[in-house]
Amino acid sequence: MAEKNLTCRDCGKSFVFTEGEQEFYQSHGLMNEPRRCPECRSSKRQERSRGIGGTREMFTVTCAACGKETQVPFQPRQERPVYCSECYSTMKVRR
């Protein structure tokens, strides 16, 4: 396999698709060549991990174990208990 010069679809810069990267893609069954340069891939990955816009809606709840007020990143349901991070971590250790 020879190295290939590809063009990033986001920024338009040229980047090298190395032999090692090609072997990795092939060994993992990836059929398509990358369309983004490493920098754009990285920024896209960070964008996804932060969520769109970078902010997350938080919900204020009362811990079912200790009664302390805390915030969680999900809408709690009435039938399920919600715990603060300290109570949740001690419950995880007991399992």
Note whether 12 and 44 are same-domain residues.
yes
Q: What does each C-alpha distance from 8 to 59, 66, 70, 74 come to in angstroms?
A: 39, 52, 43, 36
pTM over 0.85: no
45 is in which domain, residue-wise?
4-50
CA 56, 58, 64, 68 torsion: positive or negative?
A: positive
Note whether 12 and 46 are same-domain residues.
yes
Note whether 64 and 36 are same-domain residues.
no
Task: Examine the fold and report which residue of 50, 68, 84 is the final residue of a domain before the chain moves on.
Answer: 50
Q: What is the pLDDT along the chain (95 residues), one digit of tens a residue?
A: 899 999 999 999 999 999 999 999 999 999 999 999 999 999 888 877 766 566 778 899 999 999 999 999 889 988 899 999 999 988 866 66
Note whether 46 and 10 are same-domain residues.
yes
CB-side exposure of 84: number of CA atoms within 13 Å? 10
CA separation for the pair 30, 2 (Å, rounded): 17
